[in-house]
Amino acid sequence: MWRKMSAAVVVLVTLLLGVTGALAQEKSYSADRFDVDIAVNQDGSLLVTETVVFRFVGEPFTYVFREIPTDHTDGVEILEASVDGRTYPGGTDAGQVKITADDNIRVTWHMEPTANTARTFVLKYRMLGVVQQTDSADLLRYQPLPDEFEYTIDSSTVTLHYPSSADLLETPRVTANTAQVDRNGNEVTFTRQNIAPNNSMVFEMLFAKGSLISTPPVWQARQAEQDALAPVWIGASLLVLVAGIVGVVMLWRTHQPNVKKSTAVHYEPPTNLPPAIAGVLNGSGASPSWSNALATLFDLADRGVLSIEEIEKKSIFSGQDFNIVLLEEPGNLRPHEVGLLRLLFESKGMQHKSVKLSKLGNAVTGSQWKKFTEPLETEIKAAGYIDAKRKQRRTWVMVGSFIFLIVAVLIMILTVIFENQFGIWPMLVALSFFLVFIMMMIVSSTMTILTDEAKALANEWQSFYQHLKDITRSKAAVGETNMFNRFLPYAASYGMLHQWAKFFQKEGWTELPPYFHALNRAGDHGMAAFVAMTAASSSSGGSAAGAGAAGAGAAGGGASGAG
């Protein structure tokens, strides 16, 4: 009985181990060897034969590919592609090879589903114009292995033959990674073992000048012509950049308002402007933001129009949320204040008495946002704060800046199209135009559209803003006991709402505004809830406010893989 049970357990364990091993056998492949035979011809071309033994494991593989770059060559000609000694004809079916010519030459062997076996792939091709000329020698710089491959290679032997008439000046040098180098007559061998993925190699060989080629290859001659024009392109780019800088500086100086900055420090609001308008004027663009809407919200709450209530969590996984409740709507509200109430409590023609803070992101978008911004902008214009001519000039500067951007993009496109004729040097001119575009955008953002009187008023409010900022950085003393609540709307209008609340929390402030109702007001709990509310409200209207190097310079390389 026990023997039978023991035997059954052994059989079961064996089956489980077999199933587990089968499941663990993932699809993978590697190369037992990647050998390259290179024959250097008298005209500077190479006849290359690659022999790769791939070992496939797991699920079936149906293709193997090899990409050969044409950089630093006068072209690549594919001569033959075979698998296990059988030459594949052209096509995309199993047993055929597809050759695609573009910037790179891509060879794809389509094979029958192959798994748990090794197969030998041979590719023969001719690379034209590989040997280049230097001032004192004929130079062969070559990368025999791909620079992009995801498999390991157990061993690689690169064998190079050069004409007996060619005079090798010095021992071949491996300039990227390492290899064992052996020389026998006019044959050089590079040997490597245990090669990790993407671990290629580059070597250089110097021959006596004229012993291999009498004239440089076409690509090198073309590159020399392009480099000869480099000073012209560099000069043109510098001319554009310098002219752009001079123009931008003159533009900036010409459009500065004739207003002297006051050195007085304002510890109190300079005038009785509503917080939203004060915040808008403090910038140069006079464009309302979500911070200005928050300033109006807290100002209305302080005046008894609104209240803010913490909502009890339904579960430990739900986030903290708050209700904004409309208590009353007085008849003496400013247009932008009425607009904010419409923004918060009107939706699809329906009136509501409360809105969750977490839902404001949906309310403050698109046309809804205009309910607040349009009346606010109308008030600012009616007060005579906007200079129409300055606004028009700033618009023209912004439009003009995009002309420089368009020119930069156009030059980049033309450089890519005509790279063979001009190289990449024209990109410097494109870069100069792009830098001028950036500078003009910066200048346009600093150009005020306010009148001189409004700018002088804005400078006073800037001083008050700096004072509030210094308080949050502990660079200024906290004054009266009611400072936190009284200046809160202004801090919100300047985008400092959360920093303002967080600072006073660290200072031990526990007295909450009367309009804020926390679930637990005892000790620090109420202030912690208020700080959380400021963080949530500051982010809730965000949508409205914003309404391979190893083979560099060498022929060869490329990519290789299977799937």
pLDDT digits (tens, 9 = 90+) for 418-477: 887 888 899 999 999 999 999 999 988 888 888 888 888 888 898 999 999 999 998 888
pLDDT of residue 1: 42
pLDDT of residue 349: 76
Q: Both tokens of residue 353?
A: 């008495």
pLDDT of residue 5: 45
Taking Cα atoms as reference points, which of 448, 273, 454, 471 lies closest to residue 381? 454
**Mean pLDDT score of the chain:** 87
What per-residue string of b and e applies to 115-141 under the rule 16 or more CB within 10 Å gives b? eeeebebbbbbbbbbbbbbeeebbbbb
Q: What is the mean pLDDT of residues 518-546?
A: 76
Taking Cα atoms as reference points, which of 144, 163, 141 lies closest to residue 210? 163
* Residues 220-246 pLDDT 10s: 889 888 888 899 999 999 999 999 999
Q: How far is CA 195 from CA 107, 191, 529, in A?
A: 23, 11, 59
Q: In what order do the strands lie in the sheet with 104-114?
A: 96-101, 104-114, 61-69, 559-562, 148-149
List CB contacts of 513: < 8 A, sequence separation 6 or more. Answer: 301, 302, 485, 488, 530
What per-residue string of b and e applies to 492-525 under the rule 16 or more CB within 10 Å gives b? bbbbbbbbbbbbbbeeebeebbebbbbeeeeeee
Dihedral of CA 66/70/72/76: which sign?
A: positive
**Per-residue confidence band for 536, with pLDDT thresholds at 50, 70 and 90:** confident
H/E element, 314: none
**17 pLDDT more than 60:** no
Assigned CATH for 27-216:
2.60.40.1730
pLDDT of residue 546: 43
d(CA 123, CA 114): 19
Q: How would you classify the pairing of strands 137-143 and 555-556? A: parallel
Contact 275, 295 (CB under 8 A): yes
Could you give the 3-state DSSP secondary structure of residue 487? Answer: coil
**252 pLDDT more than 90:** no
* Residues 317-372 pLDDT 10s: 667 889 999 999 898 999 999 999 999 998 777 888 999 888 877 666 667 889 99
**Residues above pLDDT 70, as percent of the chain:** 90
Q: What is the mean pLDDT of residues 196-223?
A: 92
Q: What is the mean pLDDT of residues 168-193?
A: 92
Q: How would you classify the pairing of strands 559-562 and 516-517? A: unpaired
**77 pLDDT more than 50:** yes
Q: What is the mean pLDDT of residues 168-197?
A: 93
Angle, helices 497-506 vs 452-472, to 10°: value is 30
- Per-residue three-class SS string for 193-224: EEECCCCCCEEEEEEECCCCCCCCCHHHHHHH
Contact 404, 429 (CB under 8 A): no
Q: What is the mean pLDDT of residues 295-301?
A: 95
Q: What is the mean pLDDT of residues 528-532?
A: 91
pLDDT of residue 257: 78
The full DSSP string for 76-114 is EEEEEEEETTEEPPBSSSTTEEEEEESSEEEEEEEEEEE
**217 pLDDT more than 90:** yes
